Amino acid sequence: MILGGPSIETHSSNVVESQSILTISQLLQFNCAIRRRKDADSINLGMVIHAETRKNDLIDKIFSLELSISYGRVMNTSTAMGNSICDRFQNDDVVCPAKPRGNIFTTGAIDNIDHNASSTTAKGSLHGTAISLFQHPEVDNLGTDREGIFINENLKRDKIKPLPERFSIVPPVILPKEPAAVPLLEGPLMIHSDHFSDAQDIEYRWLNHVRQEIEKRDDRDKETMPCSAFHSNLSQSHLVKAIPLEFSSVLPLFQEKAKSAAMIRHSMTITKECVSFLNPGQIPAMACDQPLYALAKNIQWILPERYGENLIVVMFGGLHIEIASLRTIGDWLQDSVWVNALSQSNVASAGTADSFLK
């Protein structure tokens, strides 16, 4: 009635689930309470709008409707949050997010982060480095919760505390002109194939499903379940063990470019410190793309006493591992009858089938 007036046609139509009606209903429900509610929702709304838009006029307009806190309090709360997190960094003696849990397997990832401002009023762009942490809990080990951060809004500060210099300052590195010698592998190369065999069994279940559906060709209404839908249904059944969600977080960004020896070595140092703090005794593992991987391996071979392959594991990211695997399969099928098979079966044209190999 507030939106459309006392109209029978409006009430008879299916408009109950519209967002505008839900918003008005929630506002009425929120303000028609006997006791005054806490301002946690108002703080959250103000912080979210400021993070998304950075517009003080919009926050002040919402504040005038008593839906959010004022812009000044948003800035004070944001500064208090930053100072509280910096205090945690100082107490822990390591720059590590408060969200990750302790005593579970932790890996790091390094990548460049680029932002090219497209607006005409922009004053610059960013070509920096981002370091992420990923924690992989197991069914029988979900990790231990870390102590939360207390935010004191009454502590007035005009500026946010600086990050520890050991984290924010990137030491210079000069690599020798001659490439480092690749160390020889000592001992046998052991491969644990347990995970591979489990994944192979799941793929064979899909193939058996396809074979069974092909044998039921008499029923025209029967359609073969796609591979993605089959694995989705399989993950929800008892055949696949439920895997807990991983925890991910991003450390404060660096303005230095990622493709430099100094930034890569500094990233390796930070990854080692964070992993040692969150999961003591674990050998750190770090993922990156191909150009950064080459720099990291070169640093490992030049400085084996600090970044040797027995002290930190450097590997490709999952996407680059998959790309390399697919290219290898394409090389294997290059001189086969792959193109003819796909073109004659009307799956794809000859040119498209040939592009699959690359």
- pLDDT above 70: residue 67: yes
- pLDDT above 60: residue 37: no
User: So what's the pLDDT on residue 240?
Assistant: 53
In a domain, 327, yes or no: yes
- pLDDT above 80: residue 123: no
Domain boundary among 53, 69, 85: 69
Which residue reads 């208090």 in tokens? Answer: 80
In a domain, 46, yes or no: yes
Mean pLDDT score across all residues of the chain: 82
And the tokens for 118?
Answer: 């497209």
Q: Which residue has the higher pLDDT, 201 or 283?
A: 283
Overall number of domains in the chain: 2
User: So what's the pLDDT on residue 99?
Assistant: 73
User: So what's the pLDDT on residue 293?
Assistant: 92
**Residue 82 pLDDT level (bands cut at 50, 70, 90):** confident
User: Are the CB atoms for 6 and 24 separated by under 8 Å?
Assistant: no
Domain boundary among 69, 84, 106: 69
In a domain, 175, yes or no: no
User: So what's the pLDDT on residue 88?
Assistant: 87
DSSP label at residue 125: -
* Cα–Cα distance for residue pair 9/174, rounded to 1 Å: 76
User: So what's the pLDDT on residue 151?
Assistant: 77
DSSP label at residue 345: T
* Cα–Cα distance for residue pair 10/12, rounded to 1 Å: 5
User: So what's the pLDDT on residue 298?
Assistant: 92
- Structural domain of 328: 322-356
Segment 293-297 long-range contacts (CB within 8 Å, at least 24 positions apart) = 293/320, 295/259, 295/260, 295/261, 295/264, 296/264, 296/268
When pLDDT is averaged across residues 277-299 and rounded to a whole number, the result is 92
DSSP label at residue 104: S
Q: Residues of 155-183 as b/e, b for ≥16 C-beta within 10 angstroms?
A: eeeeeeeebeeebeebeebeeeeeeeeee
User: So what's the pLDDT on residue 14?
Assistant: 54
pLDDT winner (highest mean) among 176-180, 296-300, 347-351: 296-300
User: So what's the pLDDT on residue 170?
Assistant: 93
Please spell the DSSP secondary structure of 226-295, one letter per residue: PHHHHHHHHHTSTTS---PPPEEEEPPPBSS-SSSHHHHHHHHHHHHHHHHHHSTTPPPEEEE-HHHHHH
In a domain, 326, yes or no: yes
In a domain, 338, yes or no: yes
pLDDT digits (tens, 9 = 90+) for 246-263: 889 999 999 999 989 999
In a domain, 241, yes or no: no
pTM for this model (two decimals): 0.70
* Cα–Cα distance for residue pair 199/193, rounded to 1 Å: 10
pLDDT digits (tens, 9 = 90+) for 210-240: 888 777 766 555 566 677 788 777 766 555 5
Domain boundary among 49, 69, 89: 69
And the tokens for 356?
Answer: 């699959």
Weakest-pLDDT range from 126-140, 197-211, 278-292: 197-211
- pLDDT above 90: residue 108: yes
Q: At what angle do helices 227-235 and 194-215 cross, to 10 degrees?
A: 120
* Cα–Cα distance for residue pair 267/108, rounded to 1 Å: 9
**Residue 202 pLDDT level (bands cut at 50, 70, 90):** confident
In a domain, 238, yes or no: no
* Cα–Cα distance for residue pair 300/181, rounded to 1 Å: 11
In a domain, 89, yes or no: no
User: So what's the pLDDT on residue 222?
Assistant: 55
